[in-house]
Structure 1
Amino acid sequence: MMAPRITPPTRRPYVPIGGGVENDSDIATALVWLATSSGDAAAFVARLSAAQQRYREVTASDAARGKDPSWSALGPDIVAAYLAQGKSLLDDRRSYDFALVSHVAPWLKQLGANLPALARVVGAPGRALRMLRNGQVLPDSALFELVMASNYAAEGFDVTFIEEGQGKTPDLRLFHGESGSELFVELKRLQRGDYEIKERSRHAEIFRQLEPLLHEQGLSIDVDVTYEKELADVPVDYLLQRVKRAKASPILLSGGYPWKDEFGSGLIRDANVAAVRRDTRDSYLYFGTKMARLLSGRVVSENNYHLAARASANPEDPRYVDQMKFGSVVTWQCIAPKAIERKAKYVRSKLSEADKQIAGHGRGIIHIAMDAELHSEASDLRRQRNLDALSTFQMNSQAGIVYLHYLVPRVSEDHSWLTDETVDVFSRFERPPPSFPAFPCATTLDNDKPAWRQRVHPSNA
């Protein structure tokens, strides 16, 4: 189990322009390398600065408060929006995003920490340039390739990116030792599935039906719901009707109003606005996961909550508030078997592609990376499906090792950014090799739980 965490700078100091969050010289080094690889460092910096300004504009309105933006919502230049989170960590708190930065900072930090090794990787600047030119494609796959190439170089391999030709080719060629034994590496990055994206969008619609009532009546309630049907089958006004019934009930229950029906179960109770007011007595509070935790009294998954509140915005940064008049939080999960099954996207198709790209070249290694959902049964099922797929898959190539990287970017109240990683190793050899993580210098968590089952204990409110 690996969890990269912010550490004090160990390289030359970097002086941020304006007010940054973390003076991390490795991230600064990575951005300088990317700027150089772009061929026009000034244009690269201007591109990221424009993305920062776009973020400020998108998140300036009251309507955007509490709604974590998607990459696509930040403009057509997705690559700039992505890399700008690294720049914002260094020089601009206003465009630094708690939910997005953990998808970016670990990769830039690892790239910067590996700079001497990265400089020895043949073709690395060209791979970076291709990523930077393709602005409408999320750069996480390219950064995975660059980081893993630099990791192999740091382990003493001579590493070369293989140029794409007419046929199928692996990503990397490795040489090691005086014998010059040759290995080929294929790197795959699984993206978040369409089903999961649509499920979140559907629940946003369900919450939007409820939200006007919360504002009209100034409600401070905590709603926790577990769906047992797929969200596509749940009425869009489901939560609205549940809250209306709870408010109309003549029975006062000290523990709140529980319910259970054909669609799921849940509990409606008073939200702990007093906890928010105590936290904001002498400061402002970010309108996000910590506020949701304070209102609900429980740890909140960054992907499965909604907030509605009225509070005074910080004039310098409207994402922060104080003097809360009312505040409500909705947390949700879906445990419908069909939903879990459809979210448990597994690796067989990517494994097949990687096998074909290594076939005919020689001995090989395959790395497949994927995001996993925090505290999720779908992530448990995905891992089991992957184990089953790897145990039965018939390789046509000479790929002898497969590494599966499960990544959990997360919001933390105590760290500038945080990502947990679990690596499963599959080998044809009698003695399997050790794990080869994306983040080899990360803190090792001393337990047997996978990344998505790790808990980060929040600070006291």
Structure 2
Amino acid sequence: MLIAASKKDSGASLPQAESLRLGARLLPPSTIYVLPMRKNPNWTAKRSGHDWRDDELMLAVAWLKSFVPRVQMERRIDAAKERLLEARKQMREGLQVPFFDPSDVAAWYIFQAETFAYDRAYWTPEGAMRIAPYLTRIGKELPLLLSVKNVEERAARIMLAERRQPDGGIFELLVGLAYRRGGWTDVEFVQEKRGLERTPDLHVSRPRSHWAVECKRLAVSSYATKENQRGIVLAEKVHALLLAQYRSSVVEVVYKVELEDVPDQYLADRVQAAMERASPEPVEDEIAAIRVRPVNWELTRSVLREDFVYYGSTRMIELLAGSYAHDANHSMAAKWRPWEDRPEYADAVYQASVVTWRSASVAATRQKARHFKKTLVDANGQLPGDRPGVVHIGIETYAGARVDAFRHVRNSLQSRYFDPGKSRLRWVYGNYFVPEATTRQDESWAFTETMVPYRVGSHRTKWPLPDHMLVSPEGKNFSGMHWDGRDFH
């Protein structure tokens, strides 16, 4: 099992440039847990050197754009830009709306990658962290990727037919590239035979060895998405309560039950009771443990006297709360003054509330840590019986160490005892990705990748792509997993 961490060091960051922090610990059910502050958050961004370009990222963007007629591509990017500007306008009015059109995610990716690589005029931290690492790797090794047979056809499908869900296709490009990098002389995207027979995504060959490769990219679990949405609903009532009293507070919550079982008014009522007690000590009942403390105005105002901070970003939350926990969920609201030159940045904050929550519910952990057996069954059905097969499963995760460790155990068991039937499936690679909108000075994004080989059944067949990384630079990885509790920054 290998792990690697990478980051984009801009040399001179934008005002909200951020950093990687990993090594989350397991959370006892009734503990308010605050990560120790390992760096001083009282920093401001440099005022010069913002004219850098990311040529590798630009190369990947130009290549992907080439598969769409120019006028059509310009129209799609303009639509993505207008959607973002409208969302930012509503954000300044206190509304939270999606930044992009879900019917054309591919255009949003291109728009965000292009603006990040060139001038950062329209970038969002959350957009950059999910897009730039993947496309940068493609741009860095584009000549090698172009040696994969049928890769142009696969890229065209990403930009056209699969514009709603481009992640799977991008994952396949990275897998194909990894096999070429790993010494496989012939790597080919297999032509689909819709309605006739199921086929693998790739055939890879080298002297005396031929494998079939199937790729599956898992989305964030629907349970995790719904849980986060429920957490936001509960937090919004706290924001409204604090705004009505014009108070500024940080609320830290550890839920002991599933969030769907938490009454709508529960958190706001408990926060009100805690404020009336006027004590920083946590309060606890059968539903949650809660602590209410003041916003760190000294830190926030110290930075805003010299700097501008992207509103709603991890950096903004770090300043208000005094630290930022990457393994938790957050919601913030504020009365603030936009910077005239870049209105998505805050020039001043007058009132603010931050709600940070984690779930210690065993039932919730099980739901978020679902194993990949169903996906494995589907992937196995696309593998032939005339050659050994391998399945790559890409998992982008924000669930934290507790969930990821449990999911790994379940995936290990499912792979070990999986019956491939007529196929010759031998290995499953779990490619776990953890992108982060970071909070360290002079970094724009950070990315952690863990690769785990899962043996299927009992055999002596060697794994076809040892010690590989799909996104992170190889050679800088080490043995271990991102959820094992170590700090490797």
Q: Does 1:441 align with 2:473?
A: yes
Deviations 1:81-124 (A, max 9, x none): 12221112123423211112111111111111121112111111
Task: Give, in whole Å, the separation in 2 of the partners of 1:347 and 1:231.
Answer: 24
Q: Does 1:141 align with 2:143?
A: no
Superposed, 1:40-79 pairs within 5 Å as 40-63=69-92, 70=98, 73-74=100-101, 76-79=103-106
Letter in 1 for 2:333: A
Task: Give, in whole Å, the separation in 1 of the partners of 2:50 and 2:66.
Answer: 22
Superposed, 1:276-425 pairs within 5 Å as 276-287=300-311, 288-301=313-326, 304-373=329-398, 375-396=400-421, 397-414=423-440, 415-425=443-453
Deviations 1:51-104 (A, max 9, x none): 12321221223457695x656x54532221122211121234232111121111
Larger displacement relative to structure 2 (430-439 or 188-197): 430-439
Task: Give, in whole Å, the separation in 2 of the partners of 1:6 and 1:442.
Answer: 16
2:247 counterpart SS class: coil
TM-score, normalisation: structure 1: 0.88
Deviation at 1:260, TM superposition (A): 0.6
- Any conservation in 1 of the 2:204–2:211 contact (CA below 8 Å)? yes
Is the alpha carbon distance of 1:328 and 1:452 closer, same or farther for their aligned partners in structure 2, counting shifts above 3 Å? farther
Q: 2:34 maps to which residue?
A: none
1:182 counterpart SS class: strand
Q: Identical aligned pairs, as a percentage?
A: 28
Superposed, 1:10-409 pairs within 5 Å as 23-38=53-68, 40-63=69-92, 70=98, 73-74=100-101, 76-134=103-161, 137-156=164-183, 157-165=185-193, 166-177=196-207, 179=208, 181-249=209-277, 252-253=278-279, 256-287=280-311, 288-301=313-326, 304-373=329-398, 375-396=400-421, 397-409=423-435
Deviation at 1:195, TM superposition (A): 0.8
- Any conservation in 2 of the 1:374–1:452 contact (CA below 8 Å)? no
- Any conservation in 2 of the 1:222–1:271 contact (CA below 8 Å)? yes
1:416 counterpart SS class: strand
- Any conservation in 2 of the 1:273–1:327 contact (CA below 8 Å)? no
2:411 counterpart SS class: helix
Letter in 2 for 1:115: L
1:151 counterpart SS class: helix
Letter in 2 for 1:90: A
- Any conservation in 1 of the 2:384–2:424 contact (CA below 8 Å)? yes
Q: 1:429 maps to which residue?
A: 460
- Any conservation in 2 of the 1:374–1:453 contact (CA below 8 Å)? no
Q: 2:37 maps to which residue?
A: none
Task: Give, in whole Å, the separation in 2 of the partners of 1:379 and 1:315.
Answer: 42
Deviation at 1:406, TM superposition (A): 0.8
Deviations 1:283-316 (A, max 9, x none): 1112221221222223223761111222211123
Deviation at 1:128, TM superposition (A): 1.4
Structure 1 consecutive aligned stretches of length 4 or more whose deviation exceeds 6 Å: none
Deviation at 1:235, TM superposition (A): 0.8
Q: 1:15 maps to which residue?
A: none
- Any conservation in 2 of the 1:47–1:80 contact (CA below 8 Å)? yes
- Any conservation in 2 of the 1:223–1:269 contact (CA below 8 Å)? yes
- Any conservation in 1 of the 2:253–2:357 contact (CA below 8 Å)? yes
Task: Give, in whole Å, the separation in 2 of the partners of 1:342 and 1:429.
Answer: 34
1:187 counterpart SS class: strand
Which has the bigger relative contact order, CA under 8 A and spacing at least 6? 2
1:34 counterpart SS class: helix
- Any conservation in 2 of the 1:35–1:45 contact (CA below 8 Å)? no
Deviation at 1:134, TM superposition (A): 2.9
Q: 2:46 maps to which residue?
A: none
Larger displacement relative to structure 2 (119-128 or 131-140): 131-140
Is the alpha carbon distance of 1:168 and 1:152 closer, same or farther for their aligned partners in structure 2, counting shifts above 3 Å? same
Count matched residues.
Answer: 439
Is the alpha carbon distance of 1:8 and 1:417 closer, same or farther for their aligned partners in structure 2, counting shifts above 3 Å? closer
TM-score, normalisation: structure 2: 0.83
Q: Which stretches in structure 2 are left out of the alignment for 5+ residues?
A: 12-48
Letter in 1 for 2:267: L
Task: Give, in whole Å, the separation in 2 of the partners of 1:419 and 1:388.
Answer: 27
Task: Give, in whole Å, the separation in 2 of the partners of 1:330 and 1:376.
Answer: 20
Larger displacement relative to structure 2 (348-357 or 316-325): 316-325
